[in-house]
Amino acid sequence: MKLQELRQTFEEVEAVIAAGPIVPEVTASTIRSYLEEHYLFENGLPLPSVVADIEAMLSKWQVQVTHPRYFGLFNPGVTFASVVADTLVAMYNPQLANWRTSPAANELERHTLQWLAKRFGLPPNTAASFTSGGSEANLSAVVAALTYSFPGYGEGGLASLNTKPALYMSEESHHGFLKIAHMTGLGRASVHLIPTDATQRLDVRALQQQVARDRTEGWAPFMVVATVGSTGSGVIDPLPDLAEFSRQQKVWLHVDAAWGGAAILSHHLGKHLDGIAFADSITCDAHKWFSVPMGAGMFFCRHPASLAEAFRADVSYMPRTTSEARDEDTVNPLAHSAQWSRRFIGLKLFLSLAERGETGYAAMIDHQAAMGNVLRETLVASGWELVNETPLPLICFTREGLQPSVLLAALRDRQIAWMSETVIAGRAVLRACITNYRTTETDVRWAVEEMNQIARELEAH
Ligand SMILES: *Cc1c(COP(=O)(O)O)cnc(C)c1O
């Protein structure tokens, strides 16, 4: 593949996005009537003009999450190498359902996953796979934990158990687990939300009390979810305490590090993840802080046998492993994960990592953490109040007498930055997360100056 032209295109797109609006003003009916007018699919159209048209639509009709002042929801600016990877994958279209069909791709993924498993401190026989995202990884964790804890679950289903499995997580955890409880048949009521302490971290004493109470009421606690980098306030649950609790109580510890997991690569931040090595399973998204395009999560599991049991499948029609490969420890992903036909998801992380190296990645993470600190300092210096506490670059803040939604609307209208709102201790506050390795100090300082200006205007009213 010739990279030069693609690199030029990538850089042009980057420049166009950085110079343009961050938030679109468009309605569904505008887009629908445009499509109905131009794309009835009756006759073919020249590809170059359609591509140009699509690029025009994407550049004006979406929130530009790769904009350096998109201070948003964990959606990253993407590396060029990861874009090359997605292009290569589409062209060669490897099928990773079984090992024999795509030995190279399967081993490239295995190599990448084992590298990260080792960084997390997981044992060498850890099972791992790329997933569509954090939600699939979290789903895999629940299915594996149920299979591990309740031997009758796989064949007889939950109905065959004469107990009610319960899983525990803090109120700040990702609410995707409620969908997972619904999908697995656990039911949403089996997700027991534990209050947080004053710093929005799971309150371990409240967890202890709830689990003890639940055991007397016929529940069977089987899983605790610890979050590394919660969506609202970016906090890290107390991993060592939760590891100890899970060991004592014989429950599965799942660490949902969908966003924050990449911090393990940083010398400054890595220590805040101490205890993650005790996890039974870990979710970590490549499409968040590893700065690759959407559709790339990762799932790590300390119990390969439970995964093999959970996702076993009769594949008599699949190509056999050759005799020389049979002796090796190769696995067919379709029988160890939720997906069947499987895209070569892992190349975007592999290629990006190969180009930048672990030190390059650590520098990207550290840069974003540093930009988070610049944002904190600049806000405090101009009289804003910080309301969350985390080493990760997610800042929740407010100002006396200011309504967050009014400020956000002004930021969007003036195309200054994209931020969001969250609720901390019952109070609506602003939330800004640095998710782009290209965000500069100038971006941050300028955005704060503009916010100061808006706040002054609002106060004058
Ligand atoms: C993003 C996120 C998820 C969901 O992952 P997707 O990749 O969006 O499917 C789950 N948990 C946490 C903590 C997250 O940050």
pLDDT at 163: 95
CA 383 to chain centre: 32
Separation of alpha carbons 198 and 423, rounded Å? 13
Question: Would the CB of 74 count as within 6 Å of ligand 1?
Answer: yes
Residue 256 in contact with ligand 1 by CB distance below 6 A: yes
Q: Is 227 in the pocket of ligand 1 (CB under 6 A)?
A: yes
Which letter does DSSP use for residue 89 in this model?
Answer: H
Nearest to 116, CA basis, from 319, 358, 435, 303: 358
Q: What is the mean pLDDT of residues 96-116?
A: 97
Amino acid at 33: S
Per the CB < 8 A criterion, the answer to whether 149 and 252 are in contact is yes
Q: For the chain, what percent of residues have pLDDT higher than 70?
A: 97
- Cα Rg of the chain (Å, integer): 24
Give the closest residue (by CA) to ligand 1 atom 5.
134
Tell me, in angstroms, the distance from the centre of ligand 1 to residue 307's CA. 21
DSSP 8-state symbol, 231? T
Residue 258 in contact with ligand 1 by CB distance below 6 A: yes
Q: From ligand 1's centre to the CA of 254, what distance in Å?
A: 13
For residues 284 and 252, give the distance between their C-alpha atoms in angstroms, rounded to a whole number: 17
Contact 444, 375 (CB under 8 A): yes
241: CA distance to ligand 1 center in Å? 23
Q: What is the mean pLDDT of the chain?
A: 95
Q: Give 174 Cα–ligand 1 centroid separation in angstroms.
A: 7
The ligand 1 atom at the shortest distance from the C-alpha of residue 259 is 15
DSSP 123: -
Shortest-distance atom of ligand 1 to CA 134: 5
CA-proximal residue: ligand 1, atom 11 (nearest): 174
Quote the pLDDT of residue 318: 67
With cut-offs at 50, 70 and 90, classify the pLDDT of residue 223.
Answer: very high
Pair 382, 452: CB distance under 8 Å: yes
User: 394 forms bridges with which residues in the sheet?
Assistant: 433
pLDDT, residue 323, reads 46
- Mean pLDDT within 331-360: 97
CB of residue 170 inside a 6 A radius of ligand 1: no
Distance CA 376, CA 369 (A): 11
Averaged pLDDT for residues 24-43: 96
Separation of alpha carbons 286 and 86, rounded Å: 13
Among 259, 276, 390, name the best residue to mutate to test ligand 1's pocket (greatest count of ligand atoms within 8 A of Cβ).
259
Pick the closest to residue 255 from 246, 203, 196 (CA basis).
Answer: 246
What is the tens place of the pLDDT at every residue in 60-94? 999 999 999 999 999 999 999 999 999 999 999 99
Determine if ligand 1 sits within 6 Å of the CB of residue 174. Answer: yes
Whether 297 lines ligand 1, by a CB cut-off of 6 Å, is yes
Contact 296, 86 (CB under 8 A): no
Tell which residue, 431, 421, 424, 393, has the closest CA to residue 197. 424
d(CA 117, CA 398): 38
- Give the ligand 1 atom nearest the CA of 257: 13
Burial of 327 (0-12, 13-18, 19+ CB in 10 A): exposed
Cα–Cα distance for residue pair 206/214, rounded to 1 Å: 12
Q: How confident is the model at residue 8 (pLDDT cuts 50, 70, 90)?
A: very high
**Does 324 score more than 80 pLDDT?**
no
Beta strand 281-285 with 394-398 is unpaired
The CA distance from 359 to 376, in Å, is 25
459 pLDDT higher than 90: no
Read off the tokens for 152.
């009758």
- Cα torsion through 303, 309, 314, 316, rounded to 10: 40
CB 164 within 8 A of CB 371: no
Single out the residue of 268, 288, 296 nearest to residue 434, CA to CA: 288
Contacts of 343 (CB under 8 A, 6+ apart): 89, 96, 295
Q: What band does 122 get if pLDDT is binned at 50, 70 and 90?
A: very high
Residue 450 corresponds to which tokens in the numbers above? Answer: 């503009």
CB atoms within 10 A of CB 67: 25
Q: Write the CB contacts of 404 (distance below 8 Å, at least 6 apart in sequence).
A: 398, 421, 428, 429, 430
Closest ligand 1 atom to Cα of 228: 13
- 461: Cα within 13 Å, side-chain hemisphere: 8
Distance CA 177, CA 110 (A): 27
